[in-house]
Structure 1
């Protein structure tokens, strides 16, 4: 794994995160809205994506839309450094190609999942803190469990004091499943779509090719990842008792059962449109940035 690929993958994700973090805040709030309550029985401060943007800006100011940005940048740098560098290594060494020399969608899924699992585990504490800071809201529009963190460093200390080193990885099992699904779908779709667009002479310009493939990959990711994303958000944001155990869920399976029982199938797809609005441009930007950074590295022999 080339060190330069590792760094370029991280830098590409950082650039994309500045643009997409506000929709991530909205997504988190919508997923926590009406937690474990039947549809129609709770107050909805966030009535759709556009309304949620207005509600947050009105009650918390424009900066409220960038809550959790610092841990989000750390999370994205770590997970995408692993994901994209592993992807590049697999492509360069032809580990993703079949006997005919074509990129295999199945092998792309496998290598994408592997990168996602490694990156997700290493970045899990930042994902948890990002989620908890993004859920913090003004009293009038608060949803889900409200943590008392004042910063990323304060969150690290508080979580460690409550659950020790293992507390920082609470919920990581669900996050790993989420990352495996999302990363495999994104990486495999991106690589195969780039190849197909070139092969059929539909989009041959390198930048436009990466842009188009990234947009399609983001759409596929949204359909695949939403249920796992809801579960991860719920597990990471829940409070803990004096023994460091979650007060709502005992794990990802318990979380699925309780959501389906109390919120129905709809509960598993809360925040779908917010995830789409975040995933499509995010995948497009991060994969485009990564390809452009790699092109610059090759051009100047960096």
Structure 2
């Protein structure tokens, strides 16, 4: 299959249905996830290190940078541990990535003016809505991923292992808190997804349309790459604080009542983090998050655009 075709010359004639676009969005996300996942795991470990609230409950304080953290994981836990939690992430994208794209495209279709343009405000609202709804449905898979990502650190700190695979994490979480417990940390998770998608979907869409309409560029890989780079940076800037809160809420231990033992909720987590560690604690893991979101957006969007062209569909 030829790669990186021009949007004006698709490779074949095929349906451009909602179902096809949903499936292609999932495939693009899986490709991007497999390639960039170690950055996500490193980002999670950075966000929970030096967590003062956790230290009060016997967890060891650490203060390592991105490279030292990643090397430490590979050295002490094994290289493959950099992909720990990848399976629930694949499960997440089977729900999240397809849903967010379809919701955004439907919203965009209603908001286009007579020239086919979408305003910054409309694109931002569309990204917020698409990210929120898709993540609300997929939040349990994120909880499982966070638990698996943090497990290696717990074991190195002398804690006994709690599970050995993805299925056992689902069983453990259900035993601890029931069905509703799967949505622990869902509020900052949804907020984070809303902000990230405002950056990713809206920034990608508006940057791509600007380059095509205002700069006269063709709908090719060069435009896709530039738009994806912009989308990744904007998504990291607006999404990191909510991502930190989400990670800490999802990673905290749970008491007999099924509630977290470190934080009473998102506001309490925010207050403790800022009070104990400073405002910049909300940007812990920003570099690996950006280094992940940038290549992730690049791979995801180029894969999506190219697969759609290969089957005769329309680009984003």
TM-score norm. by structure 1 comes to: 0.90
1:53 counterpart (45, 70, 83): 70
The one-character-per-residue Cα deviations of 1:104-128 (angstroms, maximum 9, x if unpaired) are 1211111111111111011111100
2:130 counterpart (112, 115, 131): 115
Residue 27 of structure 2 corresponds to residue 11 of structure 1? yes
- Aligned mates of 2:223, 2:157 — CA distance in 1: 42
Partner of 1:106 in structure 2? 121
Partner of 1:180 in structure 2? 194
Aligned residue pairs total 293
1:270 counterpart (270, 281, 284): 284
What stretches of structure 2 of length at least 5 have no aligned partner?
1-16, 55-59
- Aligned mates of 2:102, 2:304 — CA distance in 1: 10
Aligned pairs for 1:1-302 (under 5 A) are 2-36=18-52, 43-44=61-62, 47-91=64-108, 94-137=109-152, 142=157, 148-201=162-215, 203-298=217-312
Question: Offset of 1:87 from its aligned partner?
Answer: 2.4
Secondary structure of the corresponding residue to residue 136 of structure 1 = helix
CA change 1:223–1:129 in 2 (3 A) is same
Question: Offset of 1:43 from its aligned partner?
Answer: 4.6
Conserved 8 A contact 1:147-1:239: no
Conserved 8 A contact 2:123-2:202: yes
The one-character-per-residue Cα deviations of 1:71-120 (angstroms, maximum 9, x if unpaired) are 111112311111112223344xx324245432212111111111111110
- Aligned mates of 1:149, 1:172 — CA distance in 2: 22
Secondary structure of the corresponding residue to residue 183 of structure 2 = coil
- Aligned mates of 2:217, 2:53 — CA distance in 1: 47
- Aligned mates of 2:110, 2:224 — CA distance in 1: 21
Conserved 8 A contact 2:50-2:61: yes
CA change 1:43–1:254 in 2 (3 A) is closer
The one-character-per-residue Cα deviations of 1:175-223 (angstroms, maximum 9, x if unpaired) are 1111111111211110010011112337435122111101110001111
Partner of 2:9 in structure 1? none
- Aligned mates of 2:313, 2:138 — CA distance in 1: 31
- Aligned mates of 1:104, 1:142 — CA distance in 2: 50
What stretches of structure 1 of length at least 5 have no aligned partner?
none
Q: Which has the higher contact order (CA 8 A, sep 6+)?
A: 2
Secondary structure of the corresponding residue to residue 95 of structure 1 = helix
- Aligned mates of 1:50, 1:199 — CA distance in 2: 41
